[in-house]
Amino acid sequence: MLPLLYFVTALPSILFLCFLIPPMQSHDEDRHFLRACQIAAGQPVSQVDVVTGQVGGVLPIAEADFVRDKLSTDFLRQEDSLHTIRARLTALERWAEKQRPFTEQRFAAFPSSAVYPAALYLPQVIGIRVATAFTQKVFIVFYAARIFNAIIAIAIISLALYCASEHQYLLLLPAVLPISLYQIASVSSDAGMISLSILFVGLCLRFEHYDSRGLRLCLFVSLLLITLGKPVYLPAALLLLTSRNRLGWKRAAAFCLKLMAVGLVSYMMWSYVVRSFLITPLPISAGSAPLVQIHSLTAHPGAVVSTFAATLAHRGWTIWFDMIGVFGWGGLPLPTWFYMTTSLIALAIIVCLVANVKVFDQTRLALVLVAAILISLAVFTAAYVLWTPPGSFEVLGLQGRYFIPLLVVCLFVAPPLRSFGKYSRACLCTLSIGFFFISAWWTTRTVGAYYFPQSTLVGQNVHKLFRAGPVDSCPASLDQVRSDLLAFLEGGRTTLHDTRFRVILTDSAGAIIGESDPRLIGNDPNEWRANIWMPNSSQRIDSWLVQGTLACSFAQIEVKPPTIPTY
């Protein structure tokens, strides 16, 4: 029942998000789209441009133009004036009338996705192939890739829930996290990684009690794809050892080692194929030096582990909230109450598990603990080597979405649902289903508020609309500033008891460029959030509190233009 409920509910919600989110508004969606287009064109291995030394491939110019045009703040500002999905698709239709034909091609760079194997992009490639059979409009090809990626990911997760019927309420949770819903609605390979990790754990749970050639083949394929995409998750294969009660330790260990060996060897073979890309400079953090970091890792492992611990102590909550959901390129958080509510739900589920600790399998607990520690160390190590400059006291580049497969592995520790007490079982089922609907609702609501602003003031001048109030006693504060590749968001509080207030953002000349939206903060009457798209030049952004016809300025921030990748 739950797999069907998930499918019929998640499918329309995520397909709606596919059209609600503008193109290129997910981490590296631009590069994942170009990589999928390359594979769909029959080029499974990327190339190195002999002139520039960049990694990518020869693609239709129209595809690179589409990415470059949509990955810009000018495009997003134009989108703000279009208040419906239909209007935005109509605008893309007009853009497509001027695009170049697919026969005109040139080299496009997409280094961070060039190292991924073609198998990870099978859903997107199917969508691209289907679309190009009927049209050469790039925006239709793009949305087809999104839609097929979403449908196949949802189908895989539904299969996982069916396979693990005694654990399906727990496995539902990582699938319906806001960030999971958001990433599944994109062209990103994250959709495949999230769904495959849930499927693999679901198959491991089934493998404890059942066996067949089909089941073993599915275990092999899912682990192979996960390893090829992100080898840091290879330790998840240790979960197969829980089949010891059915197979015995020797046979269970042999099967586990066989799958790990095949996964590792396959990744090494693919690494050999793309070895020329690995020595090509990648767009990683400024000051990073992977070779120096590898030396530090081998020469001073204790100091590196201390850096990992310091990162977890200082940024643990940030990573946790990021794993729950921060949208766009990392600049749009959910309302604060949502993170608190999700944390309380997680705590309640942990209490349910602890209340049934007597039925826990100690060996199972130990295997999950070892797998979780190894995956965590692997994720931290990858970020330390690739993105962290030498001498940094913290690991940089960690994103919450990298830990979703780790969360899935940790859920494996739970005993079967039938082993729970009556009240624990009812509580777990209620919390899982309830969180599913809350997450889907607030994800679409927050994303809609972010990408479909309703302000009628943008473009007008604050000095002509409102009377200036006293600056020294302006009852508002700026408490939060977030920025990402394309967006800039401010947040804060006011002491006003009248909820009919607004915060507007203006440039130095007083032109209104953004307005607070209560849909971004939930029900707190004293909180506000407002966002703008990054300017094309350095600007001073003034924040104004507006009540009635009176406006007072309470904060100024300097904003610099973003550095957009070239294609």
Q: What is the 3-state secondary structure (H, E, C) of 421-486?
A: CHHHHHHHHHHHHHHHHHHHHHHHHHHHHHHCCCCCCCCCEHHHHCEECCCCCCCEEEEEEEECCC
Instruction: Evaluate whether 321 touches 405 at the Cβ level (below 8 Å).
Output: no
pLDDT tens series, the chain, 567 aa: 899 999 999 999 999 999 999 999 998 899 999 999 999 999 998 888 777 778 888 999 999 999 999 999 899 999 998 999 999 999 999 999 999 998 899 998 888 788 888 888 999 999 999 999 999 999 999 999 999 999 999 999 999 999 998 899 999 999 999 999 999 999 999 999 999 999 999 999 999 988 899 999 999 999 999 999 899 999 999 999 998 888 888 999 999 999 999 999 999 998 888 776 665 545 545 566 677 777 788 877 888 888 888 898 888 899 999 999 999 888 889 988 899 999 999 999 998 888 877 767 788 889 999 999 999 999 999 888 888 888 788 888 889 999 999 999 999 988 888 888 888 888 889 999 999 999 999 999 999 989 998 888 898 999 999 988 877 788 889 988 888 888 889 999 888 876 678 899 999 889 999 999 888 887 778 889 998 898 888 889 999 999 888 899 898 998 888 777 766
Instruction: Evaluate whether 513 touches 506 at the Cβ level (below 8 Å).
Output: yes
Full set of structural domains in the chain with CATH: 2-277+286-446 (no CATH), 462-559 (2.60.40.10)
Q: Which amino acid is at 282?
A: L
Q: What is the DSSP string of 543-565?
A: EEEEETTEEEEEEEEEE----PP
pLDDT for 562 equals 76
Q: Is the CA virtual torsion 395, 397, 403, 405 positive or negative?
A: negative
Q: Which amino acid is at 263?
A: G
CA 257 to chain centre: 31
pLDDT for 248 equals 87
Q: Report phi then psi at 71, rounded to 5.
A: -90, 60
Instruction: Evaluate whether 262 touches 277 at the Cβ level (below 8 Å).
Output: no
Sheet holding 527-533, edge to edge: 476-483, 487-494, 527-533
Instruction: Evaluate whether 79 touches 88 at the Cβ level (below 8 Å).
Output: yes
d(Cα 410, Cα 236) in Å, to the nearest integer? 10
pLDDT for 56 equals 85
User: If you count DSSP H runs as helices and E runs as strands, how many of each does the chain have, helices first?
Assistant: 22, 13
Q: In 3D, which of 56, 465, 87, 409 has the Cα closest to residue 241?
A: 409
Beta bridge partners of 490: 481, 530
For the beta carbon of residue 355, count every other beta carbon within 10 angstroms. 13
pLDDT for 127 equals 96
d(Cα 329, Cα 313) in Å, to the nearest integer? 24
Q: Which amino acid is at 370?
A: V
d(Cα 3, Cα 33) in Å, to the nearest integer? 29
Record the tokens describing residue 90, joined without a space.
């109509």
d(Cα 3, Cα 158) in Å, to the nearest integer? 5
Beta bridge partners of 58: 107
Q: Report phi then psi at 36, rounded to 5.
A: -65, -40
Instruction: Evaluate whether 273 touches 357 at the Cβ level (below 8 Å).
Output: no
**How many residues can be counted in the chain?**
567
pTM beyond 0.75: yes
Instruction: Evaluate whether 140 touches 131 at the Cβ level (below 8 Å).
Output: yes
> Strands 501-506 and 527-533: what pairing?
unpaired
> Strands 550-559 and 467-468: what pairing?
parallel
pLDDT for 452 equals 93
Q: Report phi then psi at 487, rounded to 5.
A: -125, 160
pLDDT for 483 equals 84
For the beta carbon of residue 515, count every other beta carbon within 10 angstroms. 21
Q: What is the DSSP string of 381-428?
A: HHHHHHHPPTT-SS--S--GGGGHHHHHHHHTTSPPGGGS-HHHHHHH
- Helical spans, DSSP H, in 41-134: 61-70, 73-80, 85-96, 111-114, 122-132
d(Cα 290, Cα 283) in Å, to the nearest integer? 12
pLDDT for 34 equals 94
Tell me the HSE value of 94 on the side-chain side, using a 13 A CA sphere.
5
d(Cα 99, Cα 566) in Å, to the nearest integer? 18
